Amino acid sequence: MKTNDLDILKQQFFDYAATFIDPDTDGGPHVLKRDHTLRVCREIIGIGEALGLSEPDLLLAQVIALLHDIGRFEQFKRYNTFLDAASANHAALGVEVIKAQHLLDPLPPEEQRLIIDAVRFHNAADLPGDRDQRTLFFMGLIRDADKLDIWQVVIDHYLNHGKDTDKFIELGFEDRGGYTPEAFQALFQRQFVRSAAVKQLNDFKLMQISWVFDLNFTPTIARVKSRQYIEKIASTMPQCPDLTTALGHVFDHMDTHTHDTYTPC
């Protein structure tokens, strides 16, 4: 991977995103996803540098970040939603777009395969068990970087929009003022809250909190702690004993687990 490869892909990404954005409007959801992508690129650089990645691997990580959500543009155009369950798997759509646009054709086959795998599984509930350590490393890297920016986006919305809702950020979940027991149960078990347990907005917030259990690298956890992401989400939720118990599991997990299992060898 060379700097020129990344520069070319960046221009191709901007050109592709621009085809979905009406210059006479604010661009709405498509601009949201374009800007999210650029921030994820910055997050992945920060994590990668903290892990001591080589310059070629940092470039590879940025390409993965650049392309991880490219399926979102076509998803919203077709279905008018970012909710995969009500439309299509945006990661799978992204792989289709990458191949249809021939974005990776100039790269070596092994890099193409790794990038495609990282995009395909960046939103999966579980990582595949049949990939090599290097591929798993970059899968974990994009999943961590993606979460860091999504946390910031949703927190800005929860804290600054008051009673105003944004169906593109809240994915249409209603604020019923309560919780679904299954969502809490996953947190008590220190597990990721699965989408099937999310029935209302507070469940969605519990899912976002539970992403802590799916993080892969110590520098990511350090950023979550220093930015107080979990505390900020929790401050927007109805307080109850179950929430206090769940947060205890989350904070203990962050304090006692290190996650630098994979190496980009």
For residue 263, the 8-state DSSP code is -
pLDDT at 2: 87
Does 167 have pLDDT greater than 70? no
Across the range 71-94, mean pLDDT stands at 93
Residue 70: strand, helix, or coil: coil
pLDDT digits 0-9 by tens, 12-52: 999 999 999 887 766 688 998 999 999 999 999 999 999 99
pLDDT digits 0-9 by tens, 216-241: 999 999 999 999 999 999 999 999 99
Residue 176: strand, helix, or coil: coil
Structure tokens at 222: 């350090």
Does 259 have pLDDT greater than 70? no
pLDDT at 253: 94
C-beta of residue 124 within 8 angstroms of C-beta of residue 256: no
Lowest mean pLDDT among 86-100, 211-225, 248-262: 248-262
C-beta of residue 47 within 8 angstroms of C-beta of residue 71: no
Residue 86 CB neighbour total at 10 angstroms:
11
Q: What is the signed CA dihedral for 197, 68, 231, 206, rounded to 10 degrees?
A: 0
pLDDT at 26: 62
How far apart are the C-alpha atoms of 213 and 203, rounded to whole Å? 16
pLDDT digits 0-9 by tens, 99-115: 999 999 999 999 999 99
| Cα-based distances in Å from 145 to 44, 103, 260 | 5, 22, 14
Output b/e per residue, 147-178; b: 16+ Cβ within 10 A: bbbbbbebbebbeeeeeeeeebbbbebeeeee
The string of DSSP letters for 238-263 reads ---HHHHHHHHHHHHHHHH-------
How far apart are the C-alpha atoms of 75 and 132, rounded to whole Å? 30
Which of left, alpha, beta for 215 (phi over 0: left; psi -120 to 50: alpha)? beta
pTM of structure: 0.91
| Cα-based distances in Å from 183 to 47, 152, 208, 219 | 29, 21, 11, 27
Lowest mean pLDDT among 80-94, 125-139, 165-179: 165-179
pLDDT at 29: 87
pLDDT digits 0-9 by tens, 118-166: 999 999 988 898 999 999 999 999 999 999 999 999 999 888 865 555 6
C-beta of residue 232 within 8 angstroms of C-beta of residue 159: yes
Residue 226 CB neighbour total at 10 angstroms:
8
